[in-house]
Every structure is written in C-alpha cells, then in structure tokens.
C-alpha cells in the first residue's frame, strides 16, 4: 500500500503532493514501483494535527481518486468521516481506512454496510490532537486486541461481512515507544482475529527513538524496512509505506531467502 497524502501538514511529506496533479503523478509513480493499493488522505492525522472539515477533505481527495481509479491499483481512502466515505466510494474508491475504527462518525457503519468495499479498522487511544499526551495501558497488546475484536464484532452485527475487514494496531497512534515495541513483537497474535492485518510503520518517530538521535522523516527508510521484517516474519497481508520501490525489493528478497 503506497501513501498519497494530499495535505499541507502530514508528518513526512506534508505539502509535497498537495495539488491534484502532483498527487496523481505521485500515485502513478507508486503503482509503477509496485504498489497494489494507494491510500489517499486529505486530513493529516499526525500528533497535534489540525482538524479538517469533511468538505475540505473531499475537495482535496476526490479529483485525485478520479484521476487514479483506472490506473491499476485498489484505491483506499484514509478518512473517519461518513460523508467523505460516501463521496469517495462514488468517485471510485474500493477501500476505506479509518483511524477511528468507525467510531468517530456514527453514520460510518451504515454507509459501509451498503457498499462492498474493504474496510480497515485501526486502534487509536484518544484523537490525533490528544493521542500522544501520556498514553497509558495496563497491557497494550491485550487492550488493543480487545478493542479490535469489539470493532470487528460491531461490523459483523451491522451485517458487514467479516471477509471485508482488516485491522491495524495503530503503531504511533496513542502509544509510547514501549507500547509500539510490544505490539510489533506480538503481531502474530492478531491473526486470531480472523481478518487481514495491515501494518503501518513507515518513517514513524519510534524509529528515531530506538536509534536515540534525531532522524528526519525522509531518512528513516532503513529503520522502516527493519520494522517491516516483523510483517514478513508474521505473514501480515498489507504494509502501508511511503517508499514503495525499496519496500517491494525488500519484501521480494526476504520472502525468497528466509524460511
């Protein structure tokens, strides 16, 4: 899954692909590099980010969806707003990636029940504005697992087929370094939920925390690939990345050389 941020303030590439034309060209490049899915976002969800209205979110992403929907990759939209989900699906998206696991907007489940798209349910403690203010868990693996289990059940009870669902433990979303490491070391446990698993570690701050020094987001590729070794070891189905070509090469080689 290649990331297309149509935002001025995302943590890694904010503003770089904020225009429709540059976002479309970036998406085409990611497909050429080997992306099977493009995740298009119109609202930054980095810590302390500014909330964007659904209207502005749609203004940013809908032309990009329309420009990429026939390019050969599944189009995912990173949104927590039901009205944006509706508009995105109509424009050609085939997947919704919701950082709130369909809890932010009570209409989200109804919108998605009436579609056939894939749905990613992510765990986040708090909101993007509050999530990194002293996050606390008694047992982060058990609590994240239980939350995702409950959200899967809520979807099934709403008549959303389980095989449409996938989960994301939300690395960096309301977690300390120790929380992130505990989750990465225990990813295989989440297979028991019975749905596909998406892992998003690309360029995230925990990489520089591990290394003990400041590292610019765009210089965290090596750390990102090291973290993705967990995805290969634990047979996760989807990885969400900025650097598609390098990640594709890494996965191709590690799958052939590791038992």
Lowest mean pLDDT among 124-128, 176-180, 216-220, 241-245: 124-128
For residue 259, is pLDDT > 80? Answer: no
Q: What is the pLDDT of residue 231?
A: 82
CA distance 187 to 156: 23
- CATH 3.20.20.20 holds for 2-257: yes
Instruction: Kindly give the interhelix angle for 140-157 and 177-185, rounded to the nearest 10 degrees.
Output: 70
Q: What is the pLDDT of residue 46?
A: 75
**For the whole model, what pTM was predicted?**
0.93
Maximum average pLDDT range among 26-40, 47-61, 125-139: 26-40
Q: What is the pLDDT of residue 63?
A: 97
Q: What is the pLDDT of residue 126?
A: 80
Tens digits of residue pLDDT in 113-143: 999 999 999 999 987 877 788 889 999 999 9
CA distance 50 to 251: 34
Residue that is written with structure tokens 């999530």 in the block: 131
Determine the average pLDDT of the residues in 132-158. 96
CA distance 66 to 81: 19
CA distance 180 to 222: 17
Q: Are 152 and 144 in contact (CB under 8 A)?
A: no
- Identify the helix (H) or strand (E) that includes residue 221: helix 221-233
Q: What is the pLDDT of residue 9?
A: 55
Tens digits of residue pLDDT in 184-228: 999 999 999 999 999 999 999 999 999 999 999 999 999 999 999
Q: What is the pLDDT of residue 232?
A: 85
Is residue 248 packed enough to be buried (19+ CB in 10 Å), middle (13-18) or exposed (0-12)? middle
R_g of the chain computed on alpha carbons: 17
Quote the DSSP letter at residue 50: P
Q: Are 193 and 145 in contact (CB under 8 A)?
A: yes
For residue 16, is pLDDT > 80? Answer: no
Instruction: Kindly give the interhelix angle for 221-233 and 177-185, rounded to the nearest 10 degrees.
Output: 40
- Which residues are known to be catalytic? 204, 240
- Percent of residues, the chain, with pLDDT higher than 90: 83
pLDDT band, very low/low/confident/very high, at 48 (cuts 50, 70, 90): low
């Amino acid at each position: 899954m290649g990331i297309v941020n149509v935002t001025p303030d995302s943590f890694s590439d904010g503003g770089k692909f904020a225009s429709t034309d540059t976002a479309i060209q970036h998406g085409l490049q990611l497909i050429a590099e080997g992306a099977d899915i493009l995740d298009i976002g119109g609202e930054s969800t980095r810590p302390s980010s500014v909330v964007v209205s659904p209207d502005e979110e749609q203004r940013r992403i809908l032309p990009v969806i329309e420009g990429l929907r026939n390019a050969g990759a599944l189009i995912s939209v990173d949104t927590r707003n039901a009205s944006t989900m509706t508009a995105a699906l109509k424009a050609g998206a085939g997947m919704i990636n919701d950082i709130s696991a369909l809890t932010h907007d009570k209409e989200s489940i109804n919108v998605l029940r009436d579609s056939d798209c894939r749905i990613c349910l992510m765990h986040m403690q708090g909101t993007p504005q509050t999530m990194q203010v002293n996050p606390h868990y008694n047992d982060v693996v058990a609590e994240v697992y239980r939350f995702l289990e409950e959200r899967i059940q809520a979807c099934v009870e709403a008549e959303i087929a389980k095989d449409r669902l996938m989960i994301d433990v939300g690395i960096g979303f309301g977690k300390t370094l120790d929380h992130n490491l505990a989750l990465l070391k225990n990813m295989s446990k989440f297979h028991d939920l019975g749905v596909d698993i998406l892992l998003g570690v690309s360029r995230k701050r925990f990489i520089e925390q591990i290394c003990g020094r400041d590292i610019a987001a765009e210089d965290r590729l090596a750390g990102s690939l090291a973290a993705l070794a967990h995805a290969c070891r634990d047979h996760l189905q989807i990885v969400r990345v900025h650097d598609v070509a390098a990640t594709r090469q890494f996965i191709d080689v590690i799958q052939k050389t590791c038992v």
